A and B are shown apart, each in its own frame.
Chain A
Amino acid sequence: MMWSWIPSNWSLIWQLTWENTKLGVLPALYGLVISLPLGVLAARWRWVYPPVLTVVNILYAVPSLALFIALIPAFGLTDTTVIIALTVFSLCVILPNVVAGLRAVPAAVTQAATAMGYGPLRRLATVELPLAVPVILAGLRIGVVASISLASVGQLIGVSSLGYLFIDGLQRSFPTEIYVGLFLVIVLALVCDLILVAVKRALTPWAPRPERQPRRQQRRQQLTGAAS
């Protein structure tokens, strides 16, 4: 470990960290934006979901590098290629959670909302989606962490990220650079993860703070949802 390398390459490190943040966070957000309407449709019309889930499972099996490559003819060796590919992966993680979260809303709650005169849209926006927030955010957390980590693979097709430190470090046999890259990717992912945990707390003020039991149930639904 050569500590002096860090201050002398500060601007490079900062720039790569910023690039990596962009390549990790944007896809997760896009994935969320696309998953929400799709998930609402799939939760409403049950027959829509099995075929969608099959497509999602197959897409998720596509290696990130392969997807980057498949997109090169259309988008070139650019950020767009990486962002679109990672959006697809985030979508695969988030969508099942949106569906599971919406389906887990107790029937009595939706019936009560209907009885109070809520129309379908208002019920969705003010009752069902808020109740599904913990499950949806659990998916978003995995999506962000995975995107930030996978963004480094984009370096193999020349798209700048913290992956640069890995590849340059290997070529120069200079472990310090790789340590810094590993550290920053992991810290970046954990920071985003913590931010999402805070967002969840803010969006669900009614949730009990220890929250152990509900969370386990959500994970279970999310996982069995992916299994069926």
Chain B
Amino acid sequence: MSFFSWAWDWVTTDANWHGSGSIPQQLVAHLGYSVLPLLIAALIGVPVGVAIGHRGGKGAVVVINVGNAWRAIPTLGLLTLLAVFLGFSPLTWLLPLVVLAIPPILVNAYEGVAAVDPSIKDAAAGMGMTPWQQVTRVEIPNALPLILVGLRTAAIFVVATATIAAYIGLGGLGRFIIDGLASNQYGPVAGGALLVVILAVLVLALFAGLSRLVIPAGLRKQAKTE
């Protein structure tokens, strides 16, 4: 049997949808594990990226190289290390996911602001905007498409990786995968994996919709004509 037939059989088995540790419960738990780290990472990554992008100049090399090196940190390693020291403290799952989510958010926020057309910035300054107004009314709106790409990438990373939180005994969709692997049952393993994939694709769709809502109309027109 293939992956999909295993996954389909398991997902469509009625018993898996009821009781404790059922699919809906773990789905909610999975979202819980995903939203908080993403929010924290956004609160750190976006302001720092925007600030460095606004100042311009020497930040570029640092941001790109630190961002690249940061990606090398293996989430599983960080998670197991914290689990040894902190046990089941919330920090154990929170910290690795925040660490995972920061680089794409930071790098894209930086790139977005740094790449704003200098003539637009000059115009903003020429109109007498304060630096704060330049950042919030001109640079951030112009950088929004890239900021959203960063948030989207981070969201997908987090949703995908929250799976391995189950490895240290937490809930979420990874529960099915880890337990299934431990008991040599491919059904829940495939089913859990399929649900994570569906969730990740939903996140993609959500961000596609979101970018339509929040990106200024002028920028969208420009993107179309390019």
Contact = CB atoms under 8 A, between A and B. Distances in A.
A163 B160 contact: no
A65 interface: yes
B156 A178 contact: no
B111 A223 contact: yes
Interface residues of B, number: 56
Interface string A131-170: 0000000000110011011101101110000110111011
B113 to A, nearest CB: 11
Given A65-B193, A215-B64, A58 B72 contact: no
Interface residues on A, range: 35 or more
Interface string A211-222: 010011001100
A126 interface: no
Interface string B61-88: 1001000110111111111110111000
A112 interface: no
A57 B164 contact: no
A216 B60 contact: yes
A169 B196 contact: no
B1 interface: yes
B189 interface: yes
A43 interface: no
Contacts of A62: 160, 197, 200
A14 to B, nearest CB: 18
B80 A215 contact: no
Contact of B80 (A65, A170, A219, A220): A170
A17 to B, nearest CB: 13
A12 interface: no
A146 B197 contact: no
Nearest to B180: A69
A175 interface: yes
B3 interface: yes
Given A224-B146, A228-B223, A169 B80 contact: yes
Interface in B178-198: 178, 181, 186, 189-190, 192-194, 196-197
B201 A182 contact: no
Nearest to A146: B71
A69 B189 contact: yes
**Of listed B60, B72, B74, B79, residue having the most chain A CB within 10 A:** B74
Given A69-B3, A149-B75, A163-B77, 16 more contacts: A61-B160, A66-B160, A66-B163, A66-B177, A141-B68, A146-B71, A152-B76, A153-B74, A156-B167, A173-B84, A174-B84, A182-B73, A215-B64, A224-B146, A226-B149, A227-B148
